[in-house]
Chain A
Amino acid sequence: MDNITEYLPLLIPLAVIELALLGYSLYHIFTHTKYKTGSRTVWVIVCLVLSGFIGPILYLALGKEDS
């Protein structure tokens, strides 16, 4: 990695959003007991294993109760 600063414009927003999504999803999972589909265990595993952004988005789209 010759010059890390060259990559920062890409990496910083990506990391920020991914962490925010993951954090929010986990927070939501643990503060709710009812989900549209699936269970708490399933969603925690999905969010952590597919933690890039697919897991949290799957949870928010398919697991999170509409309010």
Chain B
Amino acid sequence: MGILEISGLCKSFGAKKVLEGLDLDIPEHSVFGFIGKNGSGKTTTMKLILGLMKADAGEIRVAGERVRFGHTDTNRYIGYLPDVPEFYSYMTAAEYLRFCGDITGLPEADIRTRTAELLEAVGLAEEKRRIKGWSRGMKQRLGIAQALLGRPRLLICDEPTSALDPVGRHDILEILRGAREQTTVLFSTHILSDIESVSTDAAFLNGGRIVLSGNIAELRGGMGEHRYEAVFGSAEEAAAAAEHFGLIPYREKLRFPEDRVPDMLRYLADKGTVPLKLERCERSLDELFGEVISV
């Protein structure tokens, strides 16, 4: 059983359909990247998971418990970091975390140790000023601290890196990577390199549905059809080889599945054709995303 299971989720705003039957299953202790273009429904999905909006159809379960709109019970398993976190600006970071601990119902002693621990971890331990006047990056760090305070089983981050400078972004990604030991992370992004650097799993959202999801390594490997690529000296050579194997070449390149590798080597030896390059292809997520959304 996954920590988060979503089935057949639908949501529209007026005539605009945002989600049309979204299914998602997130395994525990994964760092799950949720990819989609701007406006594809990532934030909507998160707000539905948090019970902040009402779904038109479908079911969401967090740790096996059903999420009900307007109720906050399932939120006790969740830590949430919105894209632009805002806090009560008249409080200090420590005061804010204490407030969070109180409304979550953490034990008194726990609040004290967790607050110190987390402020240290996000680099805000020395910051005694009130939140008013803090920079975006500092607020993002406090956002992570408050999200992790109650040791949530699921950490949901909405575009956590979108408005940060490269250093801030790297720091946040490192914190998310580190969080994996204690929790499951679901984070949305439209930046594929974020996913490549920290995720273990990913799902592509397009047209209101998940068009592709799974383990990053498996996704990269693809479905086994295009795993090797030979680059020939000319398009003619490629075309001849393609005909032999019943494949379709692309200019002087030919892609073929792994189980045809011995055949290919034999063919090359027989014909005396020397390819310029013969290699296993790593598909970038970029390429993969391009493929799945153009389907």
Tell yes or no: A67 within 8 A of B by CB. yes
The contact string, 1 if C-beta is below 8 Å from chain A, for chain B 106-132, is: 000000000000000000000000101
A contact residues, total (Cβ < 8 Å): 2
A-side residues, CB < 8 A to B, are: 66-67
| Alpha-carbon separation in the docked complex, A66 to B89 (Å) | 9
Task: Tally A-B pairs: CB < 8 A.
Answer: 6
- CB of B195, distance to nearest CB on chain A (Å): 38
- CB of A60, distance to nearest CB on chain B (Å): 15
Q: B residues within 8 A CB of A67?
A: 89-90, 130, 132
B-side residues, CB < 8 A to A, are: 89-90, 130, 132
Considering the complex, give the chain B residue whose CB is closest to the CB of A67.
B132
Considering the complex, give the chain A residue whose CB is closest to the CB of B131.
A67
- CB of A28, distance to nearest CB on chain B (Å): 14
| Alpha-carbon separation in the docked complex, A43 to B146 (Å) | 38
Q: A residues within 8 A CB of B132?
A: 67
| Alpha-carbon separation in the docked complex, A66 to B132 (Å) | 10
| Alpha-carbon separation in the docked complex, A67 to B132 (Å) | 6
Considering the complex of A and B, which 3 residue pairs feature the smallest CB-CB distances, nearest first? A67-B132, A67-B90, A67-B89
| Alpha-carbon separation in the docked complex, A19 to B132 (Å) | 28
| Alpha-carbon separation in the docked complex, A42 to B89 (Å) | 26
Q: B residues within 8 A CB of A66?
A: 89-90
| Alpha-carbon separation in the docked complex, A67 to B129 (Å) | 13
- CB of B89, distance to nearest CB on chain A (Å): 6
Q: A residues within 8 A CB of B90?
A: 66-67
| Alpha-carbon separation in the docked complex, A18 to B113 (Å) | 47
| Alpha-carbon separation in the docked complex, A67 to B130 (Å) | 9
| Alpha-carbon separation in the docked complex, A66 to B86 (Å) | 14
- CB of A26, distance to nearest CB on chain B (Å): 22
Q: A residues within 8 A CB of B89?
A: 66-67
Can you name 6 A-B pairs with beta carbons within 8 Å? A66-B89, A66-B90, A67-B89, A67-B90, A67-B130, A67-B132
| Alpha-carbon separation in the docked complex, A42 to B148 (Å) | 45
Considering the complex, give the chain A residue whose CB is closest to the CB of B130.
A67
| Alpha-carbon separation in the docked complex, A2 to B279 (Å) | 108
| Alpha-carbon separation in the docked complex, A67 to B88 (Å) | 8
- CB of A36, distance to nearest CB on chain B (Å): 14
| Alpha-carbon separation in the docked complex, A24 to B104 (Å) | 39
| Alpha-carbon separation in the docked complex, A67 to B89 (Å) | 6
| Alpha-carbon separation in the docked complex, A67 to B90 (Å) | 6
| Alpha-carbon separation in the docked complex, A24 to B90 (Å) | 19
Q: A residues within 8 A CB of B130?
A: 67
| Alpha-carbon separation in the docked complex, A41 to B132 (Å) | 25
Considering the complex, give the chain A residue whose CB is closest to the CB of B89.
A67
| Alpha-carbon separation in the docked complex, A54 to B193 (Å) | 57
| Alpha-carbon separation in the docked complex, A66 to B87 (Å) | 13
